[in-house]
Amino acid sequence: MIRERIVAIWEYKKLTAKKLEELSGIDREKWYALRKGGRRANEDDISSIVKIHPEYALWLASGQIAPECGQTSPDYDEANRNLTSPSVG
Protein backbone atom coordinates (compact mmCIF):
# COMPACT_ATOMS: atom_id res chain seq x y z
CA MET A 1 0.00 0.00 0.00
CA ILE A 2 2.80 2.46 0.86
CA ARG A 3 4.60 1.55 -2.37
CA GLU A 4 1.49 2.36 -4.39
CA ARG A 5 1.15 5.72 -2.65
CA ILE A 6 4.79 6.58 -3.32
CA VAL A 7 4.28 5.71 -7.00
CA ALA A 8 1.12 7.85 -7.07
CA ILE A 9 3.07 10.84 -5.73
CA TRP A 10 5.89 10.16 -8.18
CA GLU A 11 3.48 10.09 -11.12
CA TYR A 12 1.34 13.05 -10.03
CA LYS A 13 4.38 15.25 -9.46
CA LYS A 14 5.91 14.03 -12.75
CA LEU A 15 9.15 13.08 -11.04
CA THR A 16 11.78 11.03 -12.81
CA ALA A 17 13.95 8.43 -11.13
CA LYS A 18 16.92 10.69 -11.89
CA LYS A 19 15.24 13.62 -10.13
CA LEU A 20 14.32 11.42 -7.16
CA GLU A 21 17.93 10.28 -6.97
CA GLU A 22 19.09 13.92 -6.94
CA LEU A 23 16.58 14.94 -4.28
CA SER A 24 16.87 11.88 -2.05
CA GLY A 25 20.33 10.45 -2.54
CA ILE A 26 18.73 7.06 -3.18
CA ASP A 27 20.01 5.39 -6.34
CA ARG A 28 17.64 5.69 -9.30
CA GLU A 29 17.76 1.93 -9.88
CA LYS A 30 16.22 1.44 -6.45
CA TRP A 31 13.46 3.89 -7.37
CA TYR A 32 12.86 2.01 -10.64
CA ALA A 33 12.67 -1.29 -8.75
CA LEU A 34 10.20 0.21 -6.28
CA ARG A 35 8.02 1.55 -9.08
CA LYS A 36 7.97 -1.78 -10.89
CA GLY A 37 7.15 -3.70 -7.72
CA GLY A 38 10.56 -5.33 -7.52
CA ARG A 39 11.04 -4.22 -3.94
CA ARG A 40 9.04 -2.91 -1.03
CA ALA A 41 9.19 0.65 0.23
CA ASN A 42 11.51 1.09 3.17
CA GLU A 43 12.06 3.74 5.81
CA ASP A 44 14.52 5.69 3.63
CA ASP A 45 12.05 5.82 0.72
CA ILE A 46 9.24 7.05 2.96
CA SER A 47 11.43 9.64 4.70
CA SER A 48 12.68 10.93 1.36
CA ILE A 49 9.22 11.33 -0.14
CA VAL A 50 7.99 13.10 3.00
CA LYS A 51 10.95 15.51 2.86
CA ILE A 52 10.33 16.20 -0.84
CA HIS A 53 6.53 16.51 -0.52
CA PRO A 54 5.58 17.00 3.15
CA GLU A 55 2.00 17.83 2.16
CA TYR A 56 1.47 14.10 1.53
CA ALA A 57 2.94 12.75 4.79
CA LEU A 58 -0.37 11.90 6.46
CA TRP A 59 -1.83 10.33 3.32
CA LEU A 60 1.34 8.35 2.66
CA ALA A 61 1.31 6.86 6.16
CA SER A 62 -2.42 6.38 6.69
CA GLY A 63 -4.38 6.97 3.52
CA GLN A 64 -6.17 9.85 5.27
CA ILE A 65 -6.13 13.53 4.39
CA ALA A 66 -6.59 16.69 6.46
CA PRO A 67 -6.81 19.59 4.00
CA GLU A 68 -7.43 22.05 6.82
CA CYS A 69 -3.91 21.18 8.03
CA GLY A 70 -2.33 21.19 4.58
CA GLN A 71 -2.27 17.39 4.38
CA THR A 72 -3.66 16.22 1.05
CA SER A 73 -3.20 13.48 -1.55
CA PRO A 74 -2.47 13.55 -5.26
CA ASP A 75 -6.12 12.69 -6.02
CA TYR A 76 -7.36 15.48 -3.76
CA ASP A 77 -4.95 17.98 -5.32
CA GLU A 78 -5.97 16.95 -8.83
CA ALA A 79 -9.68 17.28 -8.04
CA ASN A 80 -9.10 20.64 -6.39
CA ARG A 81 -7.03 21.85 -9.36
CA ASN A 82 -9.83 20.84 -11.72
CA LEU A 83 -12.38 22.73 -9.64
CA THR A 84 -10.33 25.92 -9.69
CA SER A 85 -9.32 25.78 -13.37
CA PRO A 86 -11.22 28.12 -15.66
CA SER A 87 -13.72 26.31 -17.84
CA VAL A 88 -13.26 26.21 -21.59
CA GLY A 89 -16.09 27.16 -23.90
| Domains present along the chain, CATH in parentheses | 2-84 (1.10.260.40)
The answer to whether 10 and 35 are in contact (CB under 8 A) is yes
Per-residue pLDDT of 5-58, as tens digits, reads 999 999 999 999 999 999 999 999 999 999 999 999 999 999 999 999 999 999
Q: How far, in Å, are 6, 19, 48, 70 from residue 44 at the CA level?
A: 12, 16, 6, 23
Q: What angle, rounded to 10 degrees, do the helices at 43-52 and 2-12 form? A: 30
Output the pTM of the full model.
Answer: 0.87
Of the chain, the percentage scoring pLDDT greater than 90 comes to 89
